[in-house]
Structure 1
Amino acid sequence: MPMTSKRKIKLDQQSIVFVISLVIFCCFSIFLSNFFTVGNLVAMMRSISVLAILGLGMAIVVIGRGIDLSMVALMAVPSALVMTMVDSGDGLVFSIATGVLFAIIAGGISGLLVAYAEIPALFVTLAMGLALAGLGQVGILKADMVPWSDGMNPLRWIGGSSVLGIPSSILVAAFMFIAVGWFLKRTKIGRFIYSIGDNPSAARTTGISVRPIMVLQYVLSALIALLAGFVMAASNNLMDTRIYNLSLIYDVILVVVLGGIGLSGGRGGVWSVLVGTLLVGIVFNGMTIMNFPLDIQDLFKGIILLIAIAVDSFLNPRNEEAAQQGDI
């Protein structure tokens, strides 16, 4: 009698979110006349490219059992500082080096406070974001809206050009997906981040330098946020630093949690960020076409985020024995 086997199809959160994205995409394509057009699809991908890049930075931190609420401020202030310095006559290379150093110091301070002082990341990064916003408003920047000057044009390719009709911001986001995916899956430090997120006590027992790697997570998050700032500024010809007063940081968290990166750490990856970004981009592009007011869109985002966090808590229950004071 021939042996028969049944293949069981296991649907994880990434697969479910991807299927939901396809269904919504098909529905919008059928029922919204302006949705399935080349112009709208390219504009949608261009608009979510910065969100995707920020999501990748947030993913590195969340996989390692942290969170970074300062990412939007780290995107806006250092990039605006670079643009201000270039407009004032400082050299482009020196200005970029200053912006990079600024981001490294800010991310490093957050990481040190979380890893060594064991202050919860939620409070540390919230305070850092507020401090950066205040510093930008009263100290290092001349105005809230910093224009893209001619001296920045050597960086125009990063977000303000196109290749074969594809906006360069999309190409930069695609490159970052490849780079971050390689870092998390193919390098020792990337695998250590997963180990720390899964069980920091066990990771420490096996000889992993937990605290320095935790600091590195926040530094990488800050540098990725700075890159996102350059992409946004080049794309829009300015950096509106008031963006840290908007709900973008919640969009970043929404992308990460929706895609299946558990807030308890140790799970998910770049595919999680990709499917989460696609769902958010499709849904809110459709709502924009349907002329939903921004406050209704924010309400919808909040409801989705609450549901996603509840589902994450159910699917990825927190292991209190492995928890430590410096967690979220």
Structure 2
Amino acid sequence: MRGIGWSSLNQERIVLVLAVLLFAVAAIGLPGFLAPDNLIAIVRSVSVLGILAFGMAIVIIGRGIDLSMVAIMAMSVAWYLQLLNGGMSDGLAFLLVLAAVIGIGVLNGVLVAYADVPAIFVTLASGSFVFGYVRSQLITQDAVAVPQGHWIEMFGGVRYFDIPVEVFIFAGLAVLTFLFLRFTKWGRFVYYEGDNPMAARNIGIPVRPMQVLRYVLAALISFIAGLLTAASLHSINTRIVNSNLLYDIVLVAVIGGIGLSGGRGGVRNVLVGAALIGILLNAMTIVDIPTLYQNLIKAAILLGAIIIDGILNPRDEQTAQQGDI
């Protein structure tokens, strides 16, 4: 009988083992950790984060990155609520904001795919522009409330089996993302392009339109996450753009095993990463570790995950062999 060798280990399995061990330690050592309300709180806390990580995963698997997701999430919903509070009809306001969200996604994709601008610079600039323009021209304050009696407010109070609705949305989007990546030709194109863009182009895959599609999907997923955030809090605070949420999204994706080199990973990696981060954050909150030190711990984990990813998944064969300069 063959034992479990080092070759059977990968980042996803290591993180899963760490999540299980951390859960066991917290269950034994922290009072109230296993309380049903706390377990639901763990899942609820990572629902929006996990949804955003699905969008980030689609982009990263195709060998890209989207740093505009949090800005799109917050500012699109803030503008939507501002339009509603200003008296615009719900249908018109929703369509107007949806068109703007798709437009930002298309702009990101076109600049990356057709102008050959590195994705990190395109999405960093577009995220800053979206935040600055919406905050200065379209909304009047940092926090915008959901109109009383609106469907978003009522949606936030929906529970099934005493579980908040956003947990079910998180699960549903996990299934849809999995089906897209694994069972559609566009999903397979994402993997082919992320693994080898030149080979994908040579076999006839529409590489550039697929790049645009990925950024549009990331923008739409960001909008959904923003609506869920507003439903839960009955408002949206645009200051979240300047928080550590963007780093948490990358952390969940990368620590779960989504290769920054592209072509590797999937929904399962996001779920594993979200489980570890959700348990870790909840445990640190119960222990009452200050936010400053929580951010320090998360930053160290992210740095470690990036280093491990660089070792396990070098950018390409030439990069892996070039050594020190």
Class of the TM-score when normalised by the shorter of the 2 chains: over 0.9
The aligned length equals 318
Segment of structure 1 superposing worse, 128-137 or 229-238? 128-137
Match of 1:293 among 279, 290, 294: 290
Give the whole-Å Cα distance in 2 for the aligned partners of 1:252 and 1:297: 15
Give the whole-Å Cα distance in 2 for the aligned partners of 1:136 and 1:167: 30
How far does the alpha carbon of each residue in 1:149-199 deviate from its partner, in whole angstroms, 9 at most, with x for none? 136326732x43211211001000000000000000000000000000000
Give the whole-Å Cα distance in 2 for the aligned partners of 1:100 and 1:151: 22
In structure 2, the partner of 1:250 is: 247
Q: Is the contact made by 1:83 and 1:152 (CA closer than 8 Å) also made in structure 2?
A: no
In structure 2, the partner of 1:221 is: 218
In structure 2, the partner of 1:144 is: 142
In structure 1, the partner of 2:118 is: 120
In structure 2, the partner of 1:282 is: 279
Q: Is the contact made by 2:146 and 2:153 (CA closer than 8 Å) also made in structure 1?
A: no
In structure 2, the partner of 1:135 is: 133
Percent identity of the aligned residues?
46
In structure 1, the partner of 2:323 is: none
Does 1:41 pair with 2:36? no
Q: CA deviation at 1:136?
A: 2.1
Tell me the secondary structure at the aligned position of residue 282 of structure 2: helix
Give the whole-Å Cα distance in 2 for the aligned partners of 1:7 and 1:282: 30
Q: Which runs of 5+ in 2 are unaligned?
A: 320-325
Give the whole-Å Cα distance in 2 for the aligned partners of 1:289 and 1:34: 9
Q: CA deviation at 1:6?
A: 3.1
In structure 2, the partner of 1:6 is: 2
Tell me the secondary structure at the aligned position of residue 150 of structure 1: coil
Give the whole-Å Cα distance in 2 for the aligned partners of 1:264 and 1:156: 42
Segment of structure 1 superposing worse, 109-118 or 86-95? 86-95
Q: How does 1:16-95 map to 2 (within 5 A)?
A: 16-95=14-93
How far does the alpha carbon of each residue in 1:251-273 deviate from its partner, in whole angstroms, 9 at most, with x for none? 00000000100000000000000
Q: Is the contact made by 1:116 and 1:211 (CA closer than 8 Å) also made in structure 2?
A: yes
Q: Which runs of 5+ in 1 are unaligned?
A: 323-328
Does 1:263 pair with 2:254? no
Segment of structure 1 superposing worse, 145-154 or 15-24? 145-154
**Aligned amino acid, residue 125 of structure 2:** A
How far does the alpha carbon of each residue in 1:47-80 deviate from its partner, in whole angstroms, 9 at most, with x for none? 1110000000000000000000110001001111
**Aligned amino acid, residue 156 of structure 1:** M
**Aligned amino acid, residue 37 of structure 1:** A
CA RMSD of aligned residues (A): 1.6
Give the whole-Å Cα distance in 2 for the aligned partners of 1:53 and 1:100: 18
Give the whole-Å Cα distance in 2 for the aligned partners of 1:68 and 1:246: 16
Give the whole-Å Cα distance in 1 for the aligned partners of 2:4 and 2:212: 41
Match of 1:187 among 171, 184, 189: 184
Q: Is the contact made by 1:104 and 1:219 (CA closer than 8 Å) also made in structure 2?
A: yes
**Aligned amino acid, residue 77 of structure 2:** S
Give the whole-Å Cα distance in 2 for the aligned partners of 1:251 and 1:186: 28
How far does the alpha carbon of each residue in 1:92-145 deviate from its partner, in whole angstroms, 9 at most, with x for none? 121111121111011111111111111110111111111111012201112110
Tell me the secondary structure at the aligned position of residue 146 of structure 1: strand
In structure 1, the partner of 2:101 is: 103
Q: Is the contact made by 1:160 and 1:169 (CA closer than 8 Å) also made in structure 2?
A: no
In structure 2, the partner of 1:177 is: 174
Give the whole-Å Cα distance in 1 for the aligned partners of 2:197 and 2:25: 44
